[in-house]
């Protein structure tokens, strides 16, 4: 691997060798095209080849459209629908293709499928999943995934995987979240199912420090992130030291270079004592209770 480039591995059973850090497109929700294009330069510098956006990420799909035109075939392209019914999800998929100026996406994901009532609607007849399957049959999407946030999401993903053989799952994974024994146990069960089925696991919130809780928002992330390079290094290395998983970059373009720099220098995981010291020093708190 070239110095400064980020390691790759197969993204589950998709056949695509994705960089282990996947670009989190939420960071493009409210930026200009110039800012987006400068962000692209950062991604190219580190060899990032997988973009993850969503219909609900503001202007993100519009911002990456010129990238896709300039670099055809370079990126594995993933987007999401937050709709729960067949009709609305079908509309989302077609709108996303139009906004990004492409004829198909590699991965369509059911976005934040956590609420039990929404879960039932989306995965039942005439639900969003049906629209995704139809789009796959029509060649508009290649693979289907599911995403989510919250302390319950690992357990919910298990139910989702029982209902449908999703190609990928997306969920939180960081040191402080995994100190919650309930979440950690459910996460490990999801990991076992994904490993058995060769489904991809994309993780989020790697550099989350704590909720903002009334403090002034200094970043575009909805949580307060780590800021110093050494703290970002420890958090990113802790995630990526686990084999087989991927890390989605945070929702702020200004944090992106630090996260990619950390990922490009992965050697080994920080030890338990170092992670505990970081948590105490920075008063780290779980985002989800």
pLDDT tens sequence across 123-157:
999 999 999 999 999 999 999 999 999 999 999 99
How far apart, in whole angstroms, are the C-alpha atoms of residue 61 and residue 54? 7
Return the number of other C-beta atoms located less than 10 Å from residue 134's C-beta.
15
pLDDT beyond 80 at 82: yes
Write down the pLDDT at residue 44: 97
Q: DSSP assignment of 208-264, as one string? A: EEEE-TTS---SSSSEEEP-SHHHHHHHHHHHHTSTTEEEEPPS-TTTHHHHHHHHH
**Domain 8-281 maps to which CATH number in 3.20.20.100, 3.40.50.1950, 3.40.50.300, 3.30.750.210?**
3.20.20.100
Cross-strand pairs, 170? 147, 202
Percentage of the chain exceeding pLDDT 90:
93
Mean pLDDT in residue range 227-232: 97
Write down the pLDDT at residue 233: 98
Q: Where are the domains of the chain?
A: 8-281
Write down the pLDDT at residue 1: 53
How far apart, in whole angstroms, are the C-alpha atoms of residue 6 and residue 115? 35
Write down the pLDDT at residue 4: 83
Pair 92, 83: CB distance under 8 Å: yes
Q: To the nearest whole number, what is the mean pLDDT of the chain? A: 96
Span 154-196, pLDDT tens digits: 999 999 999 999 999 999 999 999 999 999 999 999 999 999 9
């Amino acid at each position: 691997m070239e110095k400064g480039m980020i390691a790759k591995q197969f993204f589950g059973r998709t056949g695509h060798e994705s960089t282990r850090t996947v670009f989190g497109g939420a960071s493009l929700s409210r930026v200009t095209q110039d800012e987006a294009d400068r962000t692209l330069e950062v991604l190219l510098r580190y060899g990032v080849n997988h973009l993850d956006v969503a219909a609900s990420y503001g202007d993100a799909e519009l911002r990456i459209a010129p990238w896709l035109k300039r670099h055809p075939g370079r990126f594995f392209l993933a987007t999401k629908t937050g709709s729960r019914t067949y009709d609305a999800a079908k509309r989302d998929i077609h709108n996303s293709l139009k906004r990004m100026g492409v004829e198909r996406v590699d991965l369509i994901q059911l976005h934040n499928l956590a609420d039990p009532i929404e879960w039932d609607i989306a995965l039942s007849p005439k639900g969003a999943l049906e629209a995704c399957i139809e789009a796959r049959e029509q060649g508009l999407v290649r693979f289907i995934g599911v995403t989510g946030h919250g302390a319950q999401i690992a357990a919910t993903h298990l139910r989702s995987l029982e209902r449908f053989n999703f190609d990928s799952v997306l969920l939180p994974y960081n040191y402080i979240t995994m100190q919650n024994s309930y979440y950690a146990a459910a996460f490990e069960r999801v990991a076992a199912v994904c490993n058995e089925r060769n489904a991809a696991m994309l993780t989020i919130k790697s550099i989350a420090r704590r909720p903002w809780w009334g403090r002034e928002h200094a970043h575009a992330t909805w949580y307060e992130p780590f800021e110093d390079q050494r703290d970002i290094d420890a958090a990113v290395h802790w995630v990526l030291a686990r084999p087989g998983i991927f890390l989605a970059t945070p929702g702020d373009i200004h944090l992106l270079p630090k996260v990619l720099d950390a990922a490009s220098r992965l050697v080994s995981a920080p030890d338990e004592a170092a992670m505990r010291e970081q948590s105490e020093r920075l008063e780290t708190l779980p985002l989800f209770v």
